[in-house]
C-alpha cells in the first residue's frame, strides 16, 4: 500500500494542498487534493491534536482523523491511510514555509513569467503557490475539462501569422507552463526549452529550418533533448530516446495549450540540428521548433484517415 509522504502545492487552483502517497512503483502513487475550506478544517483538527472528521466537498469523501491513523475514504472506493503524527508534522511544516515565487531579475536568456511581475499585493496573495500553479491558475478565462475535446478536434496548423496581433505575455506563460506539465521518463524532464525573442536569432532559425519563412513567428520555442537529466540506469541510446520523447511531448503540450488560448502554431521538424545548436549556442540536440501566433485567418481542421484504419485491435 502506498504511504503518505509529502504535502505539495496544488496545481491550477490558488489555495489548498496536494497530499501525496508514494508506493513502490511510480504508478502506485496517489494524491488527494484539498480545497481551502477542507484544508482549514483538517488543520483545525490536527493543530489542536484533536480527533474528528472532515467532509470533503464532493459530498462523498471524508477524512477521519484518529489519534494514530487518519483514514481517507474517497470517491470510487479509494481508501488511503496516513500516520496522523506525520500528516500533522508535514502539514504544519508546509503551512509555515512561505512558498514564495522567485523575485524578478530579467535577463535576456531566461524566462520570467509575467505573473511574477505582478503587484506587491498579488505577490503576497500567491505566497503559498508554486510558480507553475500560479501560471496555470492565472487569468479569469479558464478552460474547463469539457473544452478539451473541442480544442484538440479544432486545432489546425498555421503558417501565416497575423503579426499585427501581439501575443499576450500571460498566454506565453501558460504555454510554457503547459510544457512543464508534460509527462517525462522517470519525471526527469529530459528536455530544455529555448524561448527565442531575438529577431536576428529567429531569422537565423529560418535559414536553419530549410528556409521556412514562418519560423520567424511572433513566438518561437525551440525544444531540445537533454538526456543528461534522465538519471536512469539504462544505455545511452535509451536515455537519448527518452529525452527525444520528453521533448516531443512537452512541445505537444505547448501546442495544445496554444490552441486552447485561441492561438495557432506550426511544428517544425525539418531543421538542421547542427545549425540550430550553433545558433542557440548549445550542445543540446534540438527536436522541434514550435512557432506560435494569432493566425491570419481561422482554418478548419484537416481530415485524417479513418479511425478504424488507424487502430489495430488485437483481441485474445
Ligand atoms: C514531426 C512533425 C514535423 C513537422 N515538420 C514540419 C515542418 O518542418 N514544416 C512545416 O511546415 N510543417 C511541419 N509539420 C506540421 C505538419 O505538416 C502538420 O501538423 C500536418 O500537416 C497536419 O496538419 P494540422 O497540424 O493542421 O493537423 C510537422 C509536424 C510534425 C508532427
**194-251: per-residue pLDDT in tens?**
999 999 999 999 999 999 999 999 999 999 999 999 999 999 999 999 999 999 999 9
pLDDT in tens, the chain (316 residues): 789 999 988 765 567 898 999 888 767 778 898 989 999 999 999 999 999 999 998 888 999 999 999 999 998 788 999 999 999 999 999 988 654 433 333 344 555 566 555 555 444 444 445 677 677 766 655 556 568 888 998 899 999 999 999 999 999 999 999 999 999 999 999 999 999 999 999 999 999 999 999 999 999 999 999 999 999 999 999 999 999 999 999 999 999 999 999 999 999 999 999 999 999 999 999 999 999 999 998 888 888 888 788 889 998 8
Distance 108 CA to ligand 1 centre (A): 29
Q: Are residues 197 and 276 in the same domain?
A: yes
**173's grid cell:** 506563460
Q: Do residues 56 and 177 share a domain?
A: no
Same domain for 85 and 146, yes or no, is: no
Cα 257 to ligand 1 centre (Å): 17
Residue 299 in any domain: the answer is no
Are 243 and 151 members of one domain? yes
Same domain, 262 and 191: yes
Question: Any idea what the Cα angle at residue 144 is, between residues 140 and 145, rounded to 5°?
Answer: 155
Give domain status of residue 202, yes or no. yes
Domain with residue 254: its CATH number is: 3.40.109.10
Examine the domain organization and report whether 146 and 282 are in the same domain.
yes
Is 270 a pocket residue for ligand 1 (Cβ < 6 Å)? yes
CA distance 289 to 279: 13
User: What is each CA distance from 160 to 87, 99, 198, 266, 303, in whole angstroms?
Assistant: 54, 41, 20, 9, 20
Q: Are residues 152 and 287 in the same domain?
A: yes
Whether residue 270 sits in one domain with residue 147: yes
Is the domain of 177 the same as that of 240?
yes
DSSP line for 109-175? TS---GGGG--HHHHHHTTT--HHHHHHT-SS-PPPGGGHHHHHHH----S-B-TTSPPPHHHHHHH
**Pocket of ligand 1 contains residue 22 by CB under 6 Å:** no
Any domain includes 238: yes
Note whether residue 16 is domain-resident: yes
For 16, the domain range is: 3-96
Any domain includes 48: yes
For residue 111 the three cell numbers come to: 524566462
Domain contains 163: yes
| Residue 132 belongs to a domain | no
Rounded Cα distance, 200 and 216, in Å: 9
User: How are strands ordered across the β-sheet holding 17-22?
Assistant: 3-8, 17-22, 30-34
Which of 41, 65, 96 is the last residue before a domain boundary? 96
Using CB atoms within 10 Å of the CB of residue 108, give its burial: 0 to 12 exposed, 13 to 18 middle, 19+ buried: exposed
Mutate to test the pocket of ligand 1, among 255, 263, 268, 301 (most ligand atoms within 8 A of CB): 268
Angstrom distance (rounded) from CA 78 to CA 168:
42
CB of 298 closer than 6 A to ligand 1? no
d(CA 53, CA 44): 11
Distance 268 CA to ligand 1 centre (A): 6
Q: Is 268 in the pocket of ligand 1 (CB under 6 A)?
A: yes
Do 261 and 159 fall within a single domain? Answer: yes
State the distance from the centre of ligand 1 to the C-alpha of 202, rounded, in angstroms.
19
Residue 127 lies in a domain: no
Report how many domains make up the chain. Answer: 2
266 lines ligand 1 (CB under 6 A): yes
Amino acid at each position: 500500500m502506498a504511504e503518505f509522504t509529502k504535502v505539495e502545492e496544488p496545481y491550477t487552483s490558488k489555495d489548498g494542498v496536494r497530499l501525496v502517497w508514494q508506493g513502490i512503483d511510480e504508478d502506485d502513487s496517489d494524491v488527494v487534493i484539498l480545497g481551502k475550506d477542507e484544508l482549514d478544517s483538517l488543520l483545525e483538527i490536527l493543530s489542536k491534536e484533536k480527533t474528528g472528521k472532515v467532509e470533503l466537498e464532493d459530498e462523498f469523501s471524508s477524512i477521519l482523523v484518529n489519534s494514530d491513523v487518519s483514514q481517507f475514504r474517497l470517491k470510487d472506493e479509494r481508501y488511503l491511510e496516513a500516520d496522523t503524527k506525520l500528516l500533522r508534522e508535514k502539514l504544519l511544516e508546509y503551512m509555515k514555509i512561505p512558498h514564495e515565487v522567485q523575485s524578478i531579475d530579467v535577463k535576456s536568456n531566461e524566462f520570467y513569467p509575467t505573473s511574477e511581475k505582478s503587484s506587491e499585493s498579488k505577490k503576497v496573495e500567491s505566497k503559498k503557490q508554486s510558480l507553475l500553479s500560479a501560471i496555470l491558475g492565472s487569468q479569469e478565462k479558464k478552460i474547463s475539462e469539457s473544452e478539451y475535446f473541442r480544442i484538440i478536434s479544432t486545432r489546425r496548423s498555421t503558417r501565416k501569422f497575423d503579426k499585427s496581433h501581439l501575443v499576450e505575455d500571460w498566454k506565453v506563460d501558460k504555454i510554457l507552463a503547459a510544457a512543464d506539465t508534460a509527462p517525462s521518463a522517470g519525471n526527469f524532464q529530459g528536455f530544455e526549452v529555448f524561448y527565442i525573442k531575438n529577431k536576428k536569432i529567429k531569422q537565423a532559425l529560418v535559414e536553419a529550418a530549410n528556409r521556412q519563412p514562418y519560423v520567424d513567428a511572433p513566438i518561437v520555442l525551440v525544444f531540445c533533448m537533454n538526456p543528461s537529466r534522465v538519471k536512469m540506469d539504462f544505455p545511452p541510446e535509451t536515455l537519448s530516446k527518452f529525452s527525444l520523447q520528453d521533448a516531443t511531448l512537452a512541445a505537444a503540450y505547448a501546442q495544445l495549450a496554444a490552441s486552447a488560448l485561441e492561438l495557432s502554431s506550426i511544428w517544425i521538424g525539418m531543421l538542421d540540428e547542427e545549425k540550430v545548436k550553433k545558433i542557440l549556442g548549445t550542445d543540446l540536440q534540438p527536436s522541434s521548433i514550435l512557432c506560435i501566433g494569432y493566425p491570419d485567418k481561422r482554418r478548419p481542421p484537416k481530415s485524417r484517415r479513418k479511425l478504424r484504419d488507424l487502430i489495430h485491435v488485437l483481441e485474445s
